[in-house]
Every structure is written in C-alpha cells, then in structure tokens.
Structure 1
Amino acid sequence: MKNINPTKTKFWNKLQKHYLKMKNVHLKNLFKNDLNRFKKFSLNYKNLILFDYSKNIINEKTIYYLINLAKECFLKESIKSMFNGDFINVTENQPVLHTLLRNFTKKKFFINGENISSDISKVFKKMKKFSNSIINKKWKGYTGKFITDVVNVGIGGSDLGPLMVTESLKPYKNHLKIHFISNIDGTQVSEVLKRINFETTIFLISSKTFTTQETMTNARTIRNYFLNEKNILKSDMSKHFFALSTNKNEAMKFGISKENFFPLWNWVGGRYSLWSAIGLSIMLSIGYKNFFLLLKGANSMDQHFLNTPFEKNIPVLMGLISIWYNNFFCSETEAILVYDQYMHKFATYQQQANMESNGKNIDRNKKMVSWQTGPIIWGESGTNGQHSFYQLIHQGTKFIPSDFIIPLKTHNNINDHHIKLLSHFFAQTRSLAFGKSLNELKNDYYESNNEKISCQKNNSLFYQVCLGNKPTNSFLIHKITPYTLGLLISLYEHKIFTQGVIFNIFSFDQWGVELGKNAAKKILSTIKKNSTCTVYDSSTNGLINFFKKIK
C-alpha cells in the first residue's frame, strides 16, 4: 500500500474548492434542476440491494473528484493487495484475509509456504460435523441428555459479530437457545447461568489469544461452577467446553480437549472473524447451509468490490461520500438506522468495525494526521429512534449523514405493520432531505383548518420549520436472509477499507484498545494491595484509595 498524504493530492485540493460551491447548495434545488437525479445516483445490485445515494449533497463533479482522489491514493492497487494476501497489516506483520474465508474457489492459497486454503476447508468441515451433531441431538452432555443451550463466551469481535448475526437471522434459527457473555461485570455471567442447565449446555470459549482478561475471567467462573456440580468429573468438560482460538497451548491448559479445539489464524482480525470458527455459534443457531449462504453473500460483494469500476462500486462510493462529509463538511458522525427489529445490533456491530479500524491519528508515514479519520458511528433500529434522537437530526445544529436500511419483504407479515414501517422509512429520508419551510407550513395549516389566519395567531409555525438538506443513503434490501445479510456486512467492511486507504492509516490494528487493557492489568495489582495507592496521578490515586476505604 502506498503512503500518500491525501491532503497533498490534486483532487483533495479540487474537493476543497468544490466544497465552497456546494456547501450552500440545497437538496431541493439539486432535485429540482435534475429530474433524472435518482437514476444517476442509485445502483441496483442484482435486485437484492437498491442503493440510493441521490439524497446526498453531491453532483456529478463531486463524484468525479472523489473517484479521482481514490485513484490518486491507489485504492485499486490496495484492494488487490488485500485480496492477494500482501502483508498490509504492517504493524502486526500480517496479511488481511478474512475475504479468503468466504472464497469458494478451489484455488490453493499459500502464506509462507503453507496452504491455508486446505486449513480453512478442514476447519469448516469440522464445524459442520460438530454443529450437525449438536443440532441433530446426537451430541450428549455428561448425563446423556442432548444439548439445548449454547453459550458463547467472548468479547469484541468474538462477541459482537456472532451476536449481531444470530439476532438478525432469528427467523432461520433452530431449537437451540444461544446466549452470549462478554462483559467482565459479574452480572452478565450470573444472569446467563441462571437460565441454563449445565447438563444440556455447551460453552464456546471464543478468544483469539485465549488470554483476553474479560473472556478468560468469565470462562474460569463458568468452569468453576461446572466442576462444582454434583457427580461431575474433570473429564466431563470434554462434553461441554470448546475453544475457538489461535492459542492451542493455553486452551489445553484451561482444560479443553484436543478434539474440542477449533483453530483461528492471526491473519483474521477479531472484528472480521465471524466468518471463521468464531462463527460457530452462528452455525449452531441457523445450521451449516444457512451459514454457507452467509459466506456466499459476503463473497458476492467481495467480487463486486474487487472487480467493479469505482463509478458503480457501492462500497467505494459509500466510503468516498463519507470522506466528503467527514473532511469537508466536518460532520464527525454518521448514523446507521435499520428498519428491521431483528437487526437491532447492526449499528453496534458497525461501531466496532468502523471505529476500531479507522479510529487512528498516526498515518502510514508515522506522522500525526492533519485530516479527519474515522467518524463516530451510532444508530438505532426501526421507528424507535424517530421518537428520540431524530428530533436532533431534523432541527438540531449537528450535521449528521445517515444510512437508512430496510427490507422490502418482512418475515412477519402481520396486518399492515410492514407497509406502515416502509411509509416511515420513505417519509424520513424525504423529510430530512427537503424539510419544511415556513410558507409550506402556512399552506398546510390553512388547508387543514380551512381558513386563513396570520402567523402571529399561530406562533408555533415558526418553531416547526425544518431546514432539510440532511443527507441520507437508502438501502432497500429484498429480504433479510443469510445471503443478503452477508452482502450487507461485506459491503460495510469494504467501505471501511476504502476509507482507511485514503486516510493513509493502518486499519487492521487496535493499539488504543491494547493501551487500556495493559493499564487495567497494572492497576488491578495495585487495587489488590492493602497499602495506600501513591504511584499514579492524584485523580487515579484518589479514586483507587476511595474504593479501598469504602471496601
């Protein structure tokens, strides 16, 4: 990957000048002056996803400049580098190959002389065999009863990805109850343990290193409770405990049997690991065939990202439009608003995927950036947000570009619920774009009251003005299925990659996360000592000592 300061490029400079012309342009006028705007600025992906980006403060020149910025930053070459297995995760000396996990070609792929395609195939076969034995009630617990519950113990990418997917695909789930434990707060593990029976539960310890403090603390607590059950032998762990990790030695020390170890690889980042053995909870929830379709959907979008010209490339356009707002309109934040209750964890998942990847302030030249990198990602599902934070998006002082996502077909076609949901979806993107002027409000008021009165008699009209010009992307998904969900997740992954390339940062490490982890380990040892704490700053010392006093 090239090390290019984006602000020094020809087209960044052109975009700065272009912004001065576009910043006061209103979406009303963009649509008024171009009746073909929707056709120009929307893309239909195989009738499965319609991507409408026409309600953005852009014109053809904007897209031309952004695409040429991507070319100046060698985006195409960077995409090929990732898919070719080049060591683009430079700070950790690793390739980035989560896309290989969903590549079903028979082509062999080697890293350092090792055929990793063969390794991937072996792991998937093992996952398939195991998940089938659990789902078909052939695997028995220590008392001979079949399994009814699955508990995934992980955090970050080992939790959020599987949790989001299993929730999103609930219409495809089988009889197994899937639980997730991530927080080191003892409340979460306690509440899950109340709901399960050890005789009929398996535990997936999902940790890339098998040393993550939160995961291993929860895992040890569960193991201790398990071994304290009546008539339990340590050997009975082999019927209930499984490891998804790169660290086989630590898993064995914990008590995981060799047969119950599902390997991961260092070239798969945690937040991109749901496609690997970390997705075992997904496979157990929806079955191997549906998990396979999830991978196939993701692979389809991989090929689109790799082979489609930027002008028609959905993830590339998403990433470029985000950069346009983040760096020229100074938006700083993006909302992801999914009108599907099953996908209520999608925005949370994207928070990690985006903010952990592109929340960086050092560029690939080891210099502090002078431009904005990753935006703040947040969101909510369905119409719930309309009755809380949408007020701020419509009339507040913050500039918040938003992604709206909705399936055209629902899994629960009850009365007119989905038609009403769609009406809200279409109404919100239109209202955000065009707003409501004082004159329009007056006309509406006169029509509804069938009389003409002066504004002075209804001062509230002034407060109802919405300026509009709030940009949105709309995604109409045919239906949320394993395949289309795979498409959508992959689409956002590649949007993030596009941004990282142009930001000139390394998107696949997370040293800020490591800082907090390491600091917590040191402070833990301090808290356990009986002496007064004096080794840190006055605030940290004061907080620790107050805790010790109360304790």
Structure 2
Amino acid sequence: MSELPYSSAYPSQLPIWQKLKDHQVKQSKMHLRDEFNKDSDRAKRFFLQSEHIYLDYSKNLITDETIKLLEELANQAGLPAAIQSMFAGEKINNSEERPALHVALRNQAGTPFMVDGEDVMPEVKAALNQMERFVWSIHSAQARGYTNKRFTDIVHLGIGGSYLGPKVVSAALKPYWKAGLNLHYVANIDGTHITEELKHLSPETTLFIIASKSFGTQETIMNARSAKDWFLRNGGNQDDIHRHFVAISSNEKKAVEFGIARENIFPMWDWVGGRYSLWSTIGLPIALTIGIENFKALLSGAHEMDEHFRTAPFTQNIPVILALLGVWYSNFFQADSHAILPYDHYLRALPAHIQQLDMESNGKSVTHSGDPVDWSTGPVIWGGAGANGQHAYHQLLHQGTHFLPADFIMPLRTHNHIGDHHALLLSNCLSQSQALMQGKTLEEAKAELTAQGKTPEQVEELAPHKVIPGNRPSNTILFEKSTPRTIGALVAMYEHKVFAQGVIWNVNSFDQWGVELGKELGQEIYDIITGDNTPNGQDSSTKGLIDLFKKINNRL
C-alpha cells in the first residue's frame, strides 16, 4: 500500500476537535426559531451561490463561530492539500495505489491531467469522440438492427455505479430525450428484472449495452447472457450479435468472444471508480438518449462545480460547507443518518445514487494507514421524492426521537407547466424545512386547540400530541431548472462533499473492500449451488440455507 501524497490527520486528535466538542455543548442549547427571530440577516449570511447551485444553510445549528471552527477543522485535517492532490492526479486511493481522476473526464479547460507521468486527456477525448460517432450512428440510423430497422430501445446492463449514476442522470434529464428512443436499465440479478424489461421489446430494434470493466461482473454478465439467449431465441443469430450488443469494458478479449465488434468496445480506466463513472463511457446510455451535445453540457456543469470546489475559499465553497455540516452532525451531535429529499419527479432516483456514492465511499472503520477509527464516519443515506414523503416518513423527521439532518432539493422552474403544480410543490418543500426548524410549542398547540373550540380538558389531553420540537437542521439546495449543466453541477457537488468528508475522517473514499468480499463469497456459494464446488468451510447457517434452496429446486 502506497503512502498518501498529502499529510492526513486523526481528527479526534486535532486541537480543534476538543474546541468543537466544547462548542457543541453551547450550540445544543440554541433553538433555530430564536436565532431567526433575533437575527434578520441570518438567511443572507448563511447563503451561497455557485454557477448553477443556490445553497441556503441558515436552518442549521450553527453560528459564525461554528463555521470558523469547522473551517479550521478542514485546514488542520489537510483538506487543502488533499484537493490539490486529487486534481494533480496523485494516488489518493492509496490502498489500490491509484489516483481518483473522475474530474479529468469533465475537464473543459484543456489542461493536462497526469497519471504516472502521462497525460490522460488524449485518451479521454478519444473515448468521447468514439461515443460521439456511435451516438451519431444510432441517431442517424446509420447503425440498424439485423432486419434493417431503426433502434427504438436501449437496454443498459450494469450494476452499482455503472447503473445508478447513468440511471439518475438520464431520468433527471427526461425532457431532453430523443424522440423515438426508449431507455431501460437492468441491474438486479433477479431474473424477474430482465424478464419484465424484455417482455415488451423487439429483438429487431433493441440495442444492449454491457457495462463491466472486467467483463466478468457476476450480475452483469449473467444478465448479458440472458439477453443474448433472448435475442437468439427470438429471431437473431450469432452473426447479428455485433449489431445489437456493445460493451464498456477494459477486457477486449472477453467482449470479442461474446460477439461484440472491436470498434464497439468502449474503454474504462482504473483511475475512475464505479460510483464516479457516469462522466466516462459509462455515460453512453445518457448520451444516446439526450444527445452528445447535451452530454457535453452535463460534463461542463460538473467541470464548473470542480472549479468552484478547487478554487473557492472554504467559507464560500458549497461542497466544503455541506461536508463540514455533515461532520458537525455526525461527530458532535451523533447523527447516524441523513435524508436526501428531492422535490422533483425527474430526480426521484437521486437518493439511491447519493446513497451509494456516500455509503460506499465513506462507510469505513479504519484510517488510510489501517488503524481503527474512534470517530463516526459515513452516515446512513436515505430519502425519496417530495412531496410523497410528507405522507410517509416525514412524521419521524418532525416528531421522532432520531436526530436527522436533511437536504431539500428543488428546481425553481419546471419543464411541465400545469396550473399551479410547481408553486404548490415549492410551497411544500419550503414549508417542510420551515416546520423542521420552527416546530410548534405547547403554548401554541393549546392556543390552536382552544381556537378550534376544544374544552379545557380536551386541550390538556391533546396538546402534548401536537407539540413539534423543531430545531431540526436542514439544507435547501435550489437551482434554476433541471438542465444538463445544472444536473452535472448537482451530482459533482455531492461527489466533492463526500470526498471532503472522507479527508476529514481520514478514510479512503475510493476503495470498497467490503463490496469485494461479498463478491468473492457470492461466487463461492454460486459454485456450490451449481455443483461446481463442494461446500467446504461454510458455516452451518449458510450451508443449511444452500441445502434448503437445492432441495426446493431439486438440485440435491
């Protein structure tokens, strides 16, 4: 394992850590309602704007002193040097001895990005040009199916970051989809998923994208084989595979053996992690649906956020402020969860992507050097589309016993102007964050019930149930409209937030050894079930469950 290219620190041993613990004791006695009542400029002071994103973070348990202390934490933890190291292409993923250069994929400045002494930008540009040629061939109908019909459906086969990133972005940009093309994603190894997707498709007009760096990802290759079998059973033949299947992989040999033409194998690089890969050739399904120019605009929006993150002072830096607030709550208020609440139907898949981005990146219990941490790291990320959640889990946000910070996310303008739908949606978004902050006191509850004509006895009985404590922190993240540039900036913002938190926690945000163990054990169990291996060394629970499966499915 290589050493980090920048100096890291154990946060709990930093001088600023104890100052923040002492400060938290003081801040825990504040109530946000009181802070807003006594400070008419609070919302202006705790408001930031980048090229595309507006952040109101005034509804947080902070003062100017809090931000000053958190900024010092970032500095003492080595965040400035870490940001510089990432953009320099240094090996900040030290357990795998790799850089993390997803920022190179959206580099619009033309500056070199060096990996082991070589500029990777020519490769990046060549891959983008390959994507552009392929997208043109599909949109112009130069590339057609085996019966010479235009393609109408694209099925993307991938899992993890090869699935979640493209899915959330393509859904977010549905208004930009090319007419006549439909996009489908298959990730789950459950055969029901691919069966249901293929039911209404025609082999003559369906294009499959297989996204697997190794061309050996268990779930993806199993789905690819099933798709191939479906194609061959329903009119296609082996000589037609190259027309209907393309691959995003670094294993050209296996892709060619599958039947894919070499010119339709798109490259992947070790210096791009799966959850950061939508900006690469993994974004091919996005480009096919929204067009290459819109895909480039997506890259531009992300690049603009990269520059903001790289150059803005920490107190004016949106990803850094979000990261510091996350650390503030995870480590000093013992928050173990964070809600992502997009008030936009097109962004309904965003919580799942941020969930993987955050939890796979910072769900670690050892430092870069392998020592156990004695501080909390990545929180549980969850959420869903507003306003649906208001009639489900928001009850716990308002009156539950858990301390749950939340992000409210919404475009200020809509693609679909129907009456006052968008105004009502915005009012729901803002009222929820206001209610979390403000709450309702016992006196207010009693006055409300009295005004409704309740008897004094009823007031005393019902009032405690209507008390809402408030003082629940949230961020409000707004942007003008869901466009390729704004969605690019939004996703990149969360990427940088997660990285900044990982630096402060001294964990590697770019490896995922827990995921790798699951893959290894899964292959062992699969080999046992299919009869290719004997069940040596399995615990009694796993062995018993394997035997039950084999018995029910007549495999014993």
TM-score where L is the length of structure 1: 0.97
CA–CA distance in structure 1, aligned partners of residues 87 and 55 of structure 2: 24
- 1:321–1:216 Cα change, 3 Å: same
CA–CA distance in structure 1, aligned partners of residues 26 and 137 of structure 2: 63
- 1:457–1:485 Cα change, 3 Å: closer
Cα pair 1:535 1:541 within 8 Å, conserved: no
Letter in 1 for 2:54: L
Cα pair 1:534 1:541 within 8 Å, conserved: no
What does 1:517-532 align with in structure 2 at a 5 Å threshold? 517-529=519-531
Letter in 2 for 1:220: R
Partner of 2:312: 308
CA–CA distance in structure 1, aligned partners of residues 234 and 440 of structure 2: 65
1:24: how far off? 2.2
Secondary structure at the aligned position of 1:306 is classed as helix
1:19: how far off? 0.9
The one-character-per-residue Cα deviations of 1:434-469 (angstroms, maximum 9, x if unpaired) are 10011112223344x3x5842545622220110101
- 1:472–1:224 Cα change, 3 Å: same
CA–CA distance in structure 1, aligned partners of residues 316 and 247 of structure 2: 42
Secondary structure at the aligned position of 2:335 is classed as coil
CA–CA distance in structure 2, aligned partners of residues 305 and 112 of structure 1: 24
What is the aligned counterpart of 2:85 among 78, 81, 84? 81
Partner of 2:3: none
Partner of 2:438: 434
- 1:39–1:538 Cα change, 3 Å: same
The one-character-per-residue Cα deviations of 1:121-178 (angstroms, maximum 9, x if unpaired) are 1111111111122122221111111111111000001100111111111011112100
State yes or no: 1:473 paired with 2:478.
no
State yes or no: 1:127 paired with 2:105.
no
1:106: how far off? 2.5
CA–CA distance in structure 1, aligned partners of residues 117 and 22 of structure 2: 50
The one-character-per-residue Cα deviations of 1:99-136 (angstroms, maximum 9, x if unpaired) are 01111222333323433111111111111111122122
Cα pair 1:164 1:346 within 8 Å, conserved: yes
CA–CA distance in structure 1, aligned partners of residues 231 and 133 of structure 2: 25
Partner of 2:44: 39
What is the aligned counterpart of 1:28 among 33, 38, 62? 33
Aligned length: 547
**Larger deviation: 483-492 or 254-263?**
254-263
What is the aligned counterpart of 2:370 among 360, 366, 370? 366
Partner of 1:339: 343
What does 1:10-29 align with in structure 2 at a 5 Å threshold? 10-29=15-34
Partner of 1:298: 302
State yes or no: 1:109 paired with 2:109.
no
Letter in 1 for 2:18: N
Partner of 2:238: 234
Cα pair 2:88 2:114 within 8 Å, conserved: no
Secondary structure at the aligned position of 1:217 is classed as helix
- 1:489–1:458 Cα change, 3 Å: same
1:10: how far off? 0.8
**Larger deviation: 417-426 or 114-123?**
114-123
State yes or no: 1:411 paired with 2:428.
no
CA–CA distance in structure 2, aligned partners of residues 291 and 486 of structure 1: 9
The one-character-per-residue Cα deviations of 1:485-504 (angstroms, maximum 9, x if unpaired) are 01100100000000000110
Secondary structure at the aligned position of 1:473 is classed as strand
RMSD: 1.5
Secondary structure at the aligned position of 1:475 is classed as strand
1:44: how far off? 2.3
CA–CA distance in structure 1, aligned partners of residues 345 and 457 of structure 2: 41
Partner of 1:222: 227
1:236: how far off? 1.2
What is the aligned counterpart of 2:215 among 188, 193, 210? 210
Partner of 2:202: 197
**Larger deviation: 507-516 or 1-10?**
1-10
Partner of 1:391: 395
* Structure 1: gaps of 5 or more residues: none
What does 1:155-194 align with in structure 2 at a 5 Å threshold? 155-175=159-179, 176-194=181-199
Cα pair 1:27 1:56 within 8 Å, conserved: yes
Partner of 1:445: 449
CA–CA distance in structure 2, aligned partners of residues 533 and 127 of structure 1: 45
Cα pair 1:354 1:377 within 8 Å, conserved: yes
Cα pair 1:347 1:379 within 8 Å, conserved: yes
Letter in 2 for 1:219: A
**Larger deviation: 110-119 or 165-174?**
110-119
Cα pair 2:403 2:472 within 8 Å, conserved: yes
What is the aligned counterpart of 1:421 among 422, 425, 438? 425
CA–CA distance in structure 2, aligned partners of residues 466 and 548 of structure 1: 53
State yes or no: 1:279 paired with 2:287.
no
Partner of 2:155: 151
Letter in 2 for 1:4: A
CA–CA distance in structure 2, aligned partners of residues 332 and 169 of structure 1: 32
1:21: how far off? 1.0
1:525: how far off? 1.8
Letter in 2 for 1:340: D
- 1:487–1:204 Cα change, 3 Å: same
Cα pair 1:533 1:545 within 8 Å, conserved: no
Secondary structure at the aligned position of 1:479 is classed as coil
CA–CA distance in structure 2, aligned partners of residues 264 and 366 of structure 1: 29
CA–CA distance in structure 1, aligned partners of residues 86 and 66 of structure 2: 27
Partner of 1:492: 494
CA–CA distance in structure 2, aligned partners of residues 505 and 491 of structure 1: 19
Letter in 2 for 1:445: L
CA–CA distance in structure 1, aligned partners of residues 457 and 351 of structure 2: 42
Letter in 2 for 1:221: S
1:309: how far off? 0.3
* Structure 2: gaps of 5 or more residues: 1-5
- 1:41–1:453 Cα change, 3 Å: same
Cα pair 2:446 2:460 within 8 Å, conserved: no
**Larger deviation: 518-527 or 283-292?**
518-527
The one-character-per-residue Cα deviations of 1:329-366 (angstroms, maximum 9, x if unpaired) are 00100000000001100000000000000000110121
TM-score where L is the length of structure 2: 0.96
1:544: how far off? 1.6
Secondary structure at the aligned position of 1:51 is classed as strand
